[in-house]
A and B are shown apart, each in its own frame.
Chain A
Amino acid sequence: MSLLYKNVKQLVFDIDEFIDTVEQGVLVFKEGVTNYINGDKASFADKIERISRLEAVADKLQRKIDDEFYRHSILPQNAGDIESMIDKIDEIIDIAKDNLYQFDDELPYIPNELTNDFIRLTDTSTEAALSLFPAVRTFFREPIKVKEMLSKVYFYEKEADKISRNIKRRLFHEMKDLELSQKMHLRYFALHIETVSDKAECLADTLSILALKMSI
């Protein structure tokens, strides 16, 4: 612990950069999935590379932030909670990267009837995560206002749930031409995309509790 902590500015910068990186990661994921569905292989490959790079940067920043928190005993009463929150933010980009890689590895066949649904699912799921980042930034400056900023996250998460369920229903009820294996495959991809919004919801829960704790 160092009382005369001179690098607060740098740490604030690192945290902001970390959030920006994860946010960019989510945007890249969104674009990547759209590229895949639209069959734009070159762009998709580029997104894969970008998300991989962004994830590595986020990991590095997370380790640096963790290290600084412990070394200088910053916010000693809330350090554990904040680190757990940062961990959950990092999970979002991890999940996004893994999902994009799964598209690349498993090359799921998406029938034309479902492309719009999948794009909508991706948009809604990522929107849940994207609505979260302003709340995370606000948490560090005005914790009391965080709660009201989280309603969008919950809304988009529920929407993503609905779209995902709709895709699964259509797959198993309407798409008679598809093989069961293809149906199962697509079902898992709907689930993978949906996990981004699930993670965002989980982080939103943590954030709202933490914001409440900080504002007391």
Chain B
Amino acid sequence: MIILFYLSSGLFLGWSLGANDAANIFGTAVGTKMIRFKTAAITASIFVILGAVIQGAGANNTLGQLGSISTLAAAFTVALSAALTVYWMTRLKLPVSTSQSIVGAIIGWNFYTNNPTDLHTLTKIVTTWISGPILGGISAVLLFMLVKRISKKTKLHLLYRDSFIRYGLLLVGAFGAYSLGANNIANVMGVFTGAVDLPVIDLGFIQFDSTQQLFFIGGIAIAIGIFTYSRHVMATVGNALMPLTSEAAIVVVLSQALVLFIFSSQGLSDAFQSIGLPAIPLVPVSSSQIIIGSIIGIGLYKGGKEIKYNILGSISLGWVATPLIAGILAFFMLFFVNNVFKQDVGGDRVLIASPEIIVIDSIDSTEYLLLKEFQDTSALQQTDTIYTSVLQQLSEEKHSPEKNYSLFFKIVIIVLLITILVLLYYLWNRHQKFRLLQLQIKSAEHKYLLKIENLENSIKDKIHHHDDLGKELKFRQNEMVTMAISIIHKNEFLNDLKREVAKIKAGAKDYDTRLELNKLSLMITQDLSIDRDREKFQMHICEQNSNFIHRMSEAFPSMTGNEKRLAVLLRLNLSSKEIASILNISPKSVEMNRYRLRKKLKVEPKVGLNDFIREF
């Protein structure tokens, strides 16, 4: 169990690698929707594991030469500091390299334990950091030219080409994933290979040594990283530096895969040596660096206009910062682990800080003898008996392969179970979230539909109400107009009658007749001036238009009663002549009153008074 705990930091680093570097391989293909994420993730996971198990040993040896971490606690700490660096930089969306991170962390361990750093190995590694992208760029340009030439010569239909590109992206992606696993698994599990020794698994036709088993576990961690987090990174990779076409994406991934393969293939290196060429250094290189080198290569081939050079700055900063941060973090974490948790971190730091508390899991007989030489003898004497029995137990355990074998299998099963559980939880969680989202969408849809229905009903009601009101208003208006017209007719009739009476009176010679006619004329005049119908009508229109009169009074407080009455009559769209008849004044007076009203209401010359009043 304790091994599993220590491996967790490496698994975390593997997860980070999967989350980050898988995007380099399938980012463009998924981003441009040429390949589904699920297809990409499954392919990448399978081939990463295959690459790690089959071809991961070469680069691992070089990393071991840089710093051979011999204790589990140190391996755990170094991997954790590298993983934290990668995770943090991934969160900041900075292209980050696990290779540089782990190298930085190992150098941090070397510093802390006073272990000399093998400069030759370091130079070899750093050289590949530079040569990797350059090689990537060159191979990308060559491949790009080749693809262009083939594309021109074949004259394929666009749809066939699209189909071939999909297959190409998948195949190249698989190769890229294989090479990534082969080259970068050393970053994930390399630090543990010196500290963990697992028995060989013999399946009859194939054998898996301790390193391969560790790489298998690391490969699973990478696969989990691909499934759980790489989707987010895929969205940003590819177009961040330069927009890539699908053909360019194939070229870039193939170029990356080739470079990673070259730097991890023992067979190729041996083949080089057999024909008299120098051996290829088998070094874990940064896949991100090679991708960027390849993209820049293509960009320069195309004229260099499309490259977003400002992103290069932040990427370069990440490259420098990654090993530095990882190294410093590793140094301080080792100090913490060594002095606070009293764990053996290897090198000169073995148990110097705490002679009384010793971790029995990690101690072996050689270390114990060394301790005996350096520590206070009296202190040791007290615990001597305990150590002897513990060492006997350890020795027995060490020499019992069946026990170790079963222990390893237990660990693998536990790891797998945890992985499956995590995956199941993740899938269940996603499903739940999806269901919840669907429910929310349905509920929102239902709410909106109800709301729309209510609004429609309300609009219908309003329209209906408005129609009713309109009808009523029209009816009232018609009523008033009819009333006004009847008054007008009556007044006109009375005026005619008055004129006729005057005519008869002028012709009449009899005094009594003239007197009677005078009386009649007076009655008509009185009726005209004191017209009950008119009064009733005026009261009626004032009542009907009370709101309008109120609004008018508020807006124009200086309006007189007559003016308000005139405004109401104008609102009924009556002509000046008709108004004159209703008000028993001459049409000229009505015109004058209209003029005054217009001035009082400050109506613009372009606007008609009737329109102004109707829209008021």
Q: Please pick, from A76, A139, A144, the residue contacting B32 in the complex, using a CB distance under 8 A.
A: A76
> Which B residues, 34 to 93, have Cβ-Cβ distances below 8 Å to chain A?
34-36, 39
- A3–B36 CB distance below 8 A: yes
Q: How does the 8 Å CB contact mask read for A130-167 relative to B, with 1 for contact and 0 for none?
A: 00000000011111100000000000000000000000
- A1–B156 CB distance below 8 A: no
Of chain B, the residue at the smallest CB distance from A143 is B158
Chain A residues with Cβ below 8 Å from B245 are 77, 216
Chain A residues with Cβ below 8 Å from B35 are 3
Instruction: Identify which of B34, B159, B170, B245 gathers the most chain A CB atoms within 10 Å of its CB.
Output: B159
**A8 interfacial by beta-carbon distance below 8 Å:** yes
- A3–B170 CB distance below 8 A: yes
**A45 interfacial by beta-carbon distance below 8 Å:** no
Given A1-B33, A3-B35, A73-B33: A11 in contact with B159 (beta carbons within 8 A): yes
- A142–B159 CB distance below 8 A: no
- A75–B162 CB distance below 8 A: yes
**A214 interfacial by beta-carbon distance below 8 Å:** yes
Chain A residues with Cβ below 8 Å from B158 are 75, 139-141, 143, 214
- B159–A74 CB distance below 8 A: yes
Q: Please pick, from B33, B36, B155, B159, the residue contacting A12 in the complex, using a CB distance under 8 A.
A: B159
**Distance to closest chain B CB from A169 (angstroms):** 44
**Distance to closest chain B CB from A126 (angstroms):** 27
**B166 interfacial by beta-carbon distance below 8 Å:** yes
Chain B residues with Cβ below 8 Å from A5 are 163, 166
Chain B residues with Cβ below 8 Å from A1 are 33, 36
Q: Please pick, from A8, A76, A143, A144, the residue contacting B159 in the complex, using a CB distance under 8 A.
A: A8
**B399 interfacial by beta-carbon distance below 8 Å:** no
Given A3-B170, A5-B166: A140 in contact with B157 (beta carbons within 8 A): yes
How many residues of B sit at the interface, in one of the four size bands? 20 to 34
**Distance to closest chain B CB from A43 (angstroms):** 37
Given A141-B157, A141-B158: A77 in contact with B163 (beta carbons within 8 A): no
Chain A residues with Cβ below 8 Å from B246 are 77
Chain B residues with Cβ below 8 Å from A143 are 158
Chain A residues with Cβ below 8 Å from B36 are 1, 3
- Determine the distance from Cα of A139 to Cα of B161 in the docked complex, in whole angstroms: 13
**B160 interfacial by beta-carbon distance below 8 Å:** yes
Q: Please pick, from B32, B155, B166, the residue contacting A3 in the complex, using a CB distance under 8 A.
A: B166
- A8–B163 CB distance below 8 A: yes
Given A1-B33, A3-B170, A142-B155: A12 in contact with B160 (beta carbons within 8 A): yes
**Distance to closest chain B CB from A9 (angstroms):** 8
- B166–A76 CB distance below 8 A: no
Given A3-B170, A142-B155: A8 in contact with B34 (beta carbons within 8 A): no
- Determine the distance from Cα of A141 to Cα of B33 in the docked complex, in whole angstroms: 22
- Determine the distance from Cα of A12 to Cα of B163 in the docked complex, in whole angstroms: 12
- Determine the distance from Cα of A70 to Cα of B192 in the docked complex, in whole angstroms: 49
Q: How does the 8 Å CB contact mask read for B310-328 relative to A, with 1 for contact and 0 for none?
A: 0000000000000000000
- Determine the distance from Cα of A5 to Cα of B35 in the docked complex, in whole angstroms: 11
A interface residues, how many (CB within 8 angstroms): 20
Q: How does the 8 Å CB contact mask read for B138-174 relative to A, with 1 for contact and 0 for none?
A: 0000000000000010011111101100110010000
- Determine the distance from Cα of A76 to Cα of B167 in the docked complex, in whole angstroms: 15
Q: How does the 8 Å CB contact mask read for A196-216 relative to B, with 1 for contact and 0 for none?
A: 000000000000000000101
> Which A residues, 5 to 56, have Cβ-Cβ distances below 8 Å to chain B?
5, 8, 11-12, 15
- Determine the distance from Cα of A8 to Cα of B155 in the docked complex, in whole angstroms: 16
- Determine the distance from Cα of A12 to Cα of B158 in the docked complex, in whole angstroms: 9
- Determine the distance from Cα of A99 to Cα of B156 in the docked complex, in whole angstroms: 37
Chain B residues with Cβ below 8 Å from A214 are 158
Of chain B, the residue at the smallest CB distance from A78 is B158
**Distance to closest chain A CB from B376 (angstroms):** 69
- A76–B33 CB distance below 8 A: yes
Chain B residues with Cβ below 8 Å from A3 are 35-36, 39, 166-167, 170
**Distance to closest chain B CB from A76 (angstroms):** 4
- Determine the distance from Cα of A141 to Cα of B157 in the docked complex, in whole angstroms: 4
**Distance to closest chain A CB from B152 (angstroms):** 8
Q: How does the 8 Å CB contact mask read for B214-227 relative to A, with 1 for contact and 0 for none?
A: 00000000000000
**Distance to closest chain B CB from A129 (angstroms):** 22
- Determine the distance from Cα of A1 to Cα of B160 in the docked complex, in whole angstroms: 16
- Determine the distance from Cα of A74 to Cα of B246 in the docked complex, in whole angstroms: 12
> Which A residues, 68 to 92, have Cβ-Cβ distances below 8 Å to chain B?
73-77
- Determine the distance from Cα of A170 to Cα of B152 in the docked complex, in whole angstroms: 51
**Distance to closest chain B CB from A141 (angstroms):** 5
- B159–A141 CB distance below 8 A: no
- Determine the distance from Cα of A140 to Cα of B161 in the docked complex, in whole angstroms: 10
**Distance to closest chain B CB from A86 (angstroms):** 13
Q: How does the 8 Å CB contact mask read for B155-197 relative to A, with 1 for contact and 0 for none?
A: 1111110110011001000000000000000000000000000
- Determine the distance from Cα of A77 to Cα of B156 in the docked complex, in whole angstroms: 18
Chain A residues with Cβ below 8 Å from B159 are 8, 11-12, 15, 74-75, 140
- B155–A141 CB distance below 8 A: yes
Of chain B, the residue at the smallest CB distance from A75 is B162
Chain A residues with Cβ below 8 Å from B157 are 12, 140-141
Chain A residues with Cβ below 8 Å from B163 are 5, 8
- B33–A8 CB distance below 8 A: no
- Determine the distance from Cα of A214 to Cα of B165 in the docked complex, in whole angstroms: 14
- Determine the distance from Cα of A109 to Cα of B246 in the docked complex, in whole angstroms: 57
- B156–A141 CB distance below 8 A: yes
Chain A residues with Cβ below 8 Å from B170 are 3
- A8–B160 CB distance below 8 A: yes
- Determine the distance from Cα of A141 to Cα of B35 in the docked complex, in whole angstroms: 23
Chain A residues with Cβ below 8 Å from B156 are 141
- A77–B155 CB distance below 8 A: no
- B39–A77 CB distance below 8 A: no
19 contacts between A and B (CB under 8 A): A1-B36, A3-B39, A3-B170, A8-B163, A11-B159, A12-B157, A12-B159, A73-B33, A75-B158, A75-B159, A76-B32, A76-B33, A76-B34, A77-B32, A77-B246, A140-B159, A141-B156, A144-B152, A214-B158
**Can you add 19 more A-B contacts, CB < 8 Å, to A3-B166, A77-B32, A140-B157?**
A3-B35, A3-B36, A3-B39, A3-B167, A8-B159, A11-B159, A12-B159, A12-B160, A73-B33, A75-B162, A76-B33, A76-B34, A77-B246, A140-B159, A141-B155, A141-B156, A141-B157, A141-B158, A144-B152
The 7 closest A-B pairs by CB, nearest first: A76-B33, A8-B163, A73-B33, A140-B158, A75-B162, A8-B159, A141-B155
